[in-house]
Amino acid sequence: MSSFVLQFLNGLTSASTLFMVAAGLSLIFGITRVLNFAHGSMYMLGIYLAYSAIGAFSVGGVLTPVAFWGGILCAAVLVGMVGALVELTVLRRVYRSPELFQLLATFGVVLLTKDLVLWFWGPEDLLGPRAPGLGGAVEILGSPFPEYDLFLIVVGPLILGLLWLLLHSTRWGLLIRAATQDREMAAALGINQKLLFTSTFALGAFLAGLGGALQIPREPAQHFLDFTVIVDAFVVVVVGGMGSIPGAFLAALLIGEVKALCIGIGEIGAFGFGISLPKLTLVVESLVMAAVLIFRPWGLMGRALAVLPDAGEARPLLARNTAATRMAGVAIVAALAITPAFANQYSLVLLVDILIFALFAASLHFLMGPSGMASFGHAAYFGLGAYAAALAFKQAGLPMEISILVGPLVAVLAALSFGWFCVRLSGVYLAMLTLAFAQITWSVIYQWDGFTGGSNGLVGVWPAPWLSGRISYFYLVLLLCGGAVLILRRIIFSPFGYALRACRDSPMRAAAIGINVSRFQWMAFLVAGGFAGLAGALFAFSKGSISPEVLAIGQSVDGLVMVLLGGVQTISGPLVGAAVFTWLQELVARHIDYWRALLGMIIIVIVVAFPHGIVGQLFSRNRAKE
Amino acid sequence: MKGLNAVVRWMIAFLLLVIGGAALAQGSIKLGELNSYKIFPAFLDPYKKGMELALEQTNAAGGVFGRNLEIVYRDDNGNPGDAVRAAEELLTREQVHFLLGTFASNVGLAIADLARQRKVLFIAAEPLTDKITWQNGNRYTFRLRPSTWMQTSMLVPDAAKLKKKRWAIVYPNYEYGQSATAAFKDLLKKSQPDVEFVTEQATPLGKIDSGAVVQALIDAKPDAIFSSLFGPDLSRFVRDGNTRGLFKNIAVFNLLGGEPEYLDALKDEAPTGWYVTGYPWYAINTPEHKKFLAAYQKRWKDYPRAGSVVGYATVLSAVAAMKKAGSLDSEKLVAAMEGLQLESPFGRITYRTLDHQATMGAYVGRTGVREGKGVMTTFSYGDGAKFQPSDAEVRKLRPAD
């Protein structure tokens, strides 16, 4: 019994921590509709800054309460200022871009912050001091429980209360609520939106920084924090309902408690086989999120989001091929076809990567663009395609030529089941449910050592001898990826593609003329999943090995970045985005140590210079000229 | 006109590529090193410094075959896909003679398999996975650092001596932690059949929920704990365990816990009396280590970490192999690596012909706090040659070439 109570308290502590990060994220999303990927970086900055500030305030190395709490507050305020700076310099310029484009900008900030932190604070983990006066433990039911954890348990609800007061009894809070509900109307009534957005961002970042800084006695400052935190924060925000602060609190509570219980209960046995619950902590967030979203499509306390009339221009109709673009396409393919004649061997290796990622990005674009469903978990199909091909080859002993086809087949099957659930949702909720499924798939592959090779993955996945040369494999990839991209393009302009766009632009009218909207969207998942699976299968054989990274979040994010970089409203955009991103990353990683910072800066510059994506911008320029 | 411009630009780019390629052709001997410098900087920064030191020493002593030795560094971004691409770039564009490095086990295995496919030598410096020399071992791959199994088995004699009955286990939930746990349970059961494992906590790597995990361990009432945590997970585990009194009257064994990379972060909260494997650079009195230590501190104005020794010894291994082979031919290099002996900062090591594992060992001992810093107080050197399964067992695990 006592252990149950203590584990419940542990759950409360982690819930408080989760809530503080998620609250800021939810607030920012509610007002600006920006999915702030850099929120985790703000958390990380908070903990690093707190470490330094506390050190600086401890005169003569003596840690006083003033130094400790002053350091934490100072760190949080600084992070708030950084948040405001990011909003002023970058995000302000891209509010009118196509949806999710802001995500790309914040991704650039993530990369930049990562390297700045490494450069400034060095590579080692920095474990901060214990809180003066709260460093010990109190006895609860015969077991010592850290005083600081008790303090955190109080802080979470306290911040919830303060935020509630701020939103409900100040003028600023009134404006925030007005803007959350109807941004355009608020603007029409003469509310200074710019100031509102900047201040929201500053407050959100302040909360993230505070959340980080308050962890200083509990965990060391280290470089992975941004990524581990951001995913958890997104999950909490979505489970709670986007923009709902009390919802975020409830969600944090749910996730914190489920996790603590998994660890507390340990091994359970039923029907003759045992399940190790602690192992579930790897995916418990995703499991909770999937379960909640399947039953509550808007999260625990969320509502359907108001449509933003001023967010992004109306989508242009996708341009059909003109004679000129057709010529350009033929020229590019022809140029690629003759590269082996003059390029060095490595160019072929790089081109194979680019072609595979181009297909991956194109398949994601099929979902995001014409079908209007963003996916944050597209790596699931890519990775399943890769694993299925590798397993068919290694475990089932099929020839390589057949194994490559098994990849897309399995990916389609996965899309069949994941898509069925996902098409019931929309917008960010849909995107996050795809992420949940991807994470669950990832964790199964990561854990299933005997079959998938676990975290090490599978090796020895090499092409058949007649395809094993770099040149012959390049031609295979060119043929399959090129063909697949053409087919995707054909589908977009087929009646099916037009129907999908109808479902995206006006689901009600589409339904009225007899289109089964969710059935069509479901089929879009199959198409996108299958082509991603093909890309994955080709990827596996091009590398000779495969490991769970191919279906981890990083791979999904790379796909998103490629699509957004090129321009989500064009068909060739994703291809260009994939090429530019892969090539840039390869190039900068080779030439400078702090390559992530440079890549981040390049992305930020591209975002500001091409607010519609690279290809999207070129097209809109052309249109403007006409 | 516009089209012409583009054509001209492409031609210039192409010409530059060709010229660049030609300029690189002769001169120094190039080795390709790839690693996750940005993902695991705490370990790989010192590692790279160790490499540079060995490289400078080699070149100061006249290089290899009278030619300068050069290392081309590449960041593998911590994932096998990028790593394979970087390795291909090293092999084709940079024309390196063979490959070194890697940290994460999955990356190490991917490059090992690439080495087999492309038939080039690969000296895996860091990856700990047993599979790289056993289940997935191949003719072209050699590994320097003592494997998970070796390091675990170094802790087992002390664990068995304590005759503790109830053991709790905590490990990061991926291959390294799983293998360490499996090896530990297996070996301990052999020497102490009545041992009981009361709880197993598998924690997500880098995301340990330390409060709940520590509480679960307290509730299991163990006599001893075996942990393979490291890095931030270890810091959180130690701090929460200290606060909640988990470690009182309990023997704790922690793989890698004595490596400065992980022990130093804990400062004065470093645990006392834990059994760990690690690298007590401040107290190793062998002449070969003293020499290394002096050179390293002189060059970098910093103390070495475990990674520094690995980086240093990796380059020494590469140099020794080239000298023994008398050639840069892959097959000859592989033949030279088998049974290769050299002097490392830890003394003489041998690359076993049987499974291509180096016999470099680790220091095994107990932790304590001195002057506000975690140190290994008593320790002995666990020679890697002694902590191996029988040859017959290894043969069973490792596929024939």
Q: Residue A590 is part of a domain; what is its CATH number? A: 1.10.3470
Q: Report DSSP letters for A186-220, one per residue.
A: HHHTT--HHHHHHHHHHHHHHHHHHHHHTTTTTS-
Q: Are residues A200 and A327 in the same domain?
A: no
Taking residue A369's Cβ as centre, other Cβ atoms within 10 Å add up to: 26
Shortest Cα distance, chain A CAs vs residue B377, angstroms: 22
Q: Are residues A374 and A225 in the same domain?
A: no
Task: Quote the DSSP letter at residue B103.
Answer: -
Give the pLDDT of residue A33. Answer: 83
**The two structure tokens encoding residue A387:** 């694993």
Is the residue at A276 inside a domain?
Answer: no
A13 φ/ψ angles, rounded to the nearest 5 degrees = -60, -50
In A, minimum Cα distance to B74 occurs at A590
Query: Does residue B21 belong to the interface with chain A, where contact is any CB pair within 8 Å?
Result: yes
Shortest Cα distance, chain A CAs vs residue B81, angstroms: 6
Residues from chain B contacting residue A547 (CB–CB below 8 Å) = 79-80, 106, 109-110
Q: How far apart are CA B30 and CA B100, in angstroms?
A: 11
Residue A380 exposure: Cα atoms within 13 Å on the Cβ side: 30
Contact criterion met (CB below 8 Å) for A209 and A75: yes
Residue finishing a domain among A214, A230, A246 = A230
Of A178-187, A362-371, B89-98, B377-386, the one with minimum mean pLDDT is: A178-187
Residues from chain B contacting residue A140 (CB–CB below 8 Å) = none
Domain count, chain B: 2
Of A18-32, A316-330, B199-213, the one with minimum mean pLDDT is: A316-330
Picking from A14, A124, A595, the nearest residue to B75 by CB comes out as A595
Is the residue at B117 inside a domain?
Answer: yes
Query: Across the interface, do B219 and A449 touch by the CB < 8 Å criterion?
Result: no
Picking from B211, B264, B266, the nearest residue to A13 by CB comes out as B211
Packing angle between helix A2-32 and helix A225-240, nearest 10 degrees? 80
Query: Across the interface, do B212 and A460 touch by the CB < 8 Å criterion?
Result: no
Q: How far apart are CA A570 and CA A363, in angstroms?
A: 13
Choose among A480, A463, A469: nearest CA to A356: A480
Q: Which residues contact residue A203 at a Cβ distance below 8 angstroms, ignoring those fewer than 6 apart? A: A24, A27, A80
pLDDT band at A454 (very low <50, low <70, confident <90, very high): confident
Is the residue at B3 inside a domain?
Answer: no
Is the residue at B120 inside a domain?
Answer: yes
| Domain boundaries, position A58 | 15-230
Taking residue A231's Cβ as centre, other Cβ atoms within 10 Å add up to: 18
Is the residue at A300 inside a domain?
Answer: no
Residues from chain B contacting residue A549 (CB–CB below 8 Å) = 78-81, 106
Residues from chain B contacting residue A456 (CB–CB below 8 Å) = 105-106, 109, 129, 131, 175
Choose among A196, A299, A202, A157: nearest CA to A242: A299
Give the pLDDT of residue B96. Answer: 94
Query: Across the interface, do B106 and A278 touch by the CB < 8 Å criterion?
Result: no
Side chain identity, residue B307: G
Q: Are residues B117 and B200 in the same domain?
A: no
pLDDT in tens, A402-442: 999 999 999 999 999 999 999 988 888 898 899 999 999 99
Query: Does residue A418 belong to the interface with chain B, where contact is any CB pair within 8 Å?
Result: no
Query: Does residue B102 belong to the interface with chain A, where contact is any CB pair within 8 Å?
Result: no
pLDDT in tens, A578-599: 999 999 888 888 888 888 899 8
Query: Across the interface, do B42 and A124 touch by the CB < 8 Å criterion?
Result: yes
For A33-146, where are the alpha helices, taking DSSP H only? 39-57, 65-89, 101-121
Give the pLDDT of residue A609. Answer: 86
Q: Are residues B117 and B161 in the same domain?
A: no
Is the residue at A299 inside a domain?
Answer: no
In A, minimum Cα distance to B34 occurs at A590
**The two structure tokens encoding residue B121:** 């030598």
pLDDT band at A192 (very low <50, low <70, confident <90, very high): confident
Of A318-332, A333-347, B35-49, B106-120, the one with minimum mean pLDDT is: A318-332
Buried b (16+ CB within 10 A) or exposed e, A245-282: bbbbbbbbbbbbbbbbbbbbbbeeeeeeeeebbbbbbb
Q: Which residues contact residue A128 at a Cβ distance below 8 angstroms, ignoring those fewer than 6 apart? A: A47, A50, A51, A54, A216, A217, A220, A221
Contact criterion met (CB below 8 Å) for A227 and A44: no
Is the residue at A174 inside a domain?
Answer: yes
Shortest Cα distance, chain B CAs vs residue A370, angstroms: 30
Name the more confident of A622 and A163. Answer: A163
Query: Across the interface, do A264 and B212 touch by the CB < 8 Å criterion?
Result: yes
Give the pLDDT of residue A113. Answer: 94
Is the residue at A2 inside a domain?
Answer: no
H/E element holding A545? strand A544-546
Give the pLDDT of residue B4. Answer: 46
Q: How far apart are CA B166 and CA A452, in angstroms?
A: 33
The dihedral region occupied by B392, where left means phi > 0, alpha psi between -120 and 50, and beta the remainder, is alpha
Side chain identity, residue A436: A
Q: Which residues contact residue A541 at a Cβ distance below 8 angstroms, ignoring those fewer than 6 apart? A: A389, A400, A403, A404, A461, A462, A463, A467, A473
| Domain boundaries, position B370 | 149-282+363-382
Query: Does residue A187 belong to the interface with chain B, where contact is any CB pair within 8 Å?
Result: no
Give the pLDDT of residue B22. Answer: 45
Query: Does residue B118 belong to the interface with chain A, where contact is any CB pair within 8 Å?
Result: no
**The two structure tokens encoding residue B1:** 């006109």
Mean pLDDT in consecutive groups of 10 residues from the start of chain B, 401 residues? 51 51 64 90 91 94 91 90 92 92 92 93 93 92 94 93 93 90 93 91 89 91 94 92 91 93 89 93 93 95 94 95 92 94 94 94 93 91 92 89 69
Query: Across the interface, do B173 and A144 touch by the CB < 8 Å criterion?
Result: no
Contacts with A, B 333-392, CB within 8 Å: none
Q: Are residues B45 and B90 in the same domain?
A: yes
Contacts with A, B 29-68, CB within 8 Å: 37-38, 41-42, 44-45
pLDDT in tens, A469-498: 888 999 999 999 999 999 999 999 999 999
Give the pLDDT of residue B349. Answer: 94
pLDDT band at A59 (very low <50, low <70, confident <90, very high): confident
Q: How far apart are CA A460 and CA A540, in angstroms?
A: 10
Q: How far apart are CA B160 and CA B193, in angstroms?
A: 10
Q: Which residues contact residue A308 at a Cβ distance below 8 angstroms, ignoring those fewer than 6 apart? A: A33, A183, A184
Q: Are residues A208 and A340 in the same domain?
A: no
Give the pLDDT of residue B156. Answer: 93
Query: Across the interface, do A455 and B236 touch by the CB < 8 Å criterion?
Result: no
Task: Quote the DSSP letter at residue B269.
Answer: G
Query: Across the interface, do A125 and B231 touch by the CB < 8 Å criterion?
Result: yes
Task: Quote the DSSP letter at residue A60.
Answer: G
In B, minimum Cα distance to A137 occurs at B243
Residues from chain B contacting residue A7 (CB–CB below 8 Å) = 212, 215-216
Is the residue at A102 inside a domain?
Answer: yes
Contact criterion met (CB below 8 Å) for A428 and A238: yes
**The two structure tokens encoding residue B304:** 């070495």
In B, minimum Cα distance to A328 occurs at B3
Picking from A135, A266, A455, the nearest residue to B106 by CB comes out as A455
H/E element holding B332? helix B330-337
Task: Name beta bridge partners: A139.
Answer: A144
Average pLDDT over residues A346-358: 92
Taking residue A568's Cβ as centre, other Cβ atoms within 10 Å add up to: 29
pLDDT band at A285 (very low <50, low <70, confident <90, very high): confident
Query: Does residue A223 belong to the interface with chain B, where contact is any CB pair within 8 Å?
Result: yes
SS3 A460: strand
Inter-CA distances, B94 with A344, B55, B70, B205, B311, Å: 11, 18, 11, 35, 21
Q: Are residues B323 and B276 in the same domain?
A: no
pLDDT band at A53 (very low <50, low <70, confident <90, very high): very high
Inter-CA distances, B297 with B282, B371, B377, Å: 12, 20, 22
Measured in residues, chain B has a length of 401
Write down the mean pLDDT value for chain A: 88
**The two structure tokens encoding residue A143:** 């077991």
Shortest Cα distance, chain A CAs vs residue B270, angstroms: 11
Give the pLDDT of residue B3. Answer: 46
Is the residue at B277 inside a domain?
Answer: yes
Is the residue at B350 inside a domain?
Answer: no
Task: Name beta bridge partners: B75.
Answer: B35
Give the pLDDT of residue B7. Answer: 53
Helices (H) and strands (E) in chain B, counts: 13, 14
Q: Are residues B131 and B15 in the same domain?
A: yes
Q: What sign for the dihedral angle of Cα B35, B37, B39, B41? A: positive
Query: Across the interface, do B235 and A219 touch by the CB < 8 Å criterion?
Result: yes
Q: Which of B48, B106, B208, B308 is the mutation pick for testing A, counting most A CBs within 10 A? A: B106
In B, minimum Cα distance to A135 occurs at B243
Is the residue at B5 inside a domain?
Answer: no
**The two structure tokens encoding residue A362:** 């194109």
Is the residue at B90 inside a domain?
Answer: yes
Q: What angle do CA A275, A280, A286 make, to 5 degrees?
A: 140
Q: Are residues A450 and A573 in the same domain?
A: yes
Q: How far apart are CA A48 and CA A141, in angstroms?
A: 35
Q: Are residues B186 and B88 in the same domain?
A: no
Q: Are residues B137 and B24 in the same domain?
A: yes
Is the residue at A247 inside a domain?
Answer: no
Contacts with B, A 246-275, CB within 8 Å: 259-260, 263-264, 266-267
Task: Name beta bridge partners: A544.
Answer: A461
- Indicate if the pLDDT at residue A390 is higher than 60: yes
Q: Are residues B162 and B107 in the same domain?
A: no
Taking residue A65's Cβ as centre, other Cβ atoms within 10 Å add up to: 11
Q: Are residues A214 and A333 in the same domain?
A: no
Q: Which residues contact residue A92 at a Cβ distance below 8 angstroms, ignoring those fewer than 6 apart? A: A194, A197, A198
Residues from chain A contacting residue B178 (CB–CB below 8 Å) = 449, 454
Residue reference for tokens 């608020």: A186
Q: For residue B108, give the CATH number of its domain.
A: 3.40.50.2300
Residues from chain A contacting residue B174 (CB–CB below 8 Å) = 446, 454-455
What's the 3-state SS for B79-99?
Answer: CHHHHHHHHHHHHHCCCCCCE
- Indicate if the pLDDT at residue A12 is higher than 50: yes
Residues from chain B contacting residue A223 (CB–CB below 8 Å) = 41
Name the more confident of B335 and A342. Answer: B335
Residue finishing a domain among A207, A230, A253 = A230
Residue finishing a domain among A185, A210, A230 = A230
Contact criterion met (CB below 8 Å) for A506 and A315: no
Is the residue at A172 inside a domain?
Answer: yes
Residues from chain B contacting residue A590 (CB–CB below 8 Å) = 74, 89
Query: Does residue A285 belong to the interface with chain B, where contact is any CB pair within 8 Å?
Result: no
Give the pLDDT of residue A624. Answer: 56
Q: Are residues B302 and B209 in the same domain?
A: no
Residues from chain A contacting residue B114 (CB–CB below 8 Å) = 543-545
Q: How far apart are CA B295 and CA B95, in angstroms?
A: 31
**The two structure tokens encoding residue A520:** 């069509």
Q: Are residues B94 and B116 in the same domain?
A: yes
Query: Across the interface, do B42 and A3 touch by the CB < 8 Å criterion?
Result: no
Choose among A92, A31, A619: nearest CA to A305: A31
Packing angle between helix B105-118 and helix B80-92, nearest 10 degrees? 40
A60 φ/ψ angles, rounded to the nearest 5 degrees = 65, 20
Query: Does residue A124 belong to the interface with chain B, where contact is any CB pair within 8 Å?
Result: yes
Taking residue A427's Cβ as centre, other Cβ atoms within 10 Å add up to: 18
Inter-CA distances, B342 with B306, B321, B323, B349, Å: 18, 9, 11, 6
Query: Across the interface, do B14 and A447 touch by the CB < 8 Å criterion?
Result: no
Residue reference for tokens 């922690």: B254
In A, minimum Cα distance to B173 occurs at A279
pLDDT in tens, B94-138: 899 999 999 988 999 999 999 999 999 999 999 999 999 999 999
- Indicate if the pLDDT at residue A500 is higher than 50: yes
Task: Quote the DSSP letter at residue B67.
Answer: B
Name the more confident of A98 and B251. Answer: B251
In A, minimum Cα distance to B131 occurs at A456
Q: Are residues B99 and B199 in the same domain?
A: no
Is the residue at B358 inside a domain?
Answer: no
Query: Does residue B218 belong to the interface with chain A, where contact is any CB pair within 8 Å?
Result: yes
The dihedral region occupied by A298, where left means phi > 0, alpha psi between -120 and 50, and beta the remainder, is alpha
Measured in residues, chain A has a length of 626
Shortest Cα distance, chain B CAs vs residue A372, angstroms: 30
Q: Are residues B183 and B239 in the same domain?
A: yes
Shortest Cα distance, chain B CAs vs residue A374, angstroms: 25
pLDDT in tens, A515-540: 999 999 999 999 999 999 999 999 99
Domain count, chain A: 2
pLDDT band at A312 (very low <50, low <70, confident <90, very high): very low
Picking from A266, A342, A455, the nearest residue to B216 by CB comes out as A266
Contact criterion met (CB below 8 Å) for B344 and B360: yes
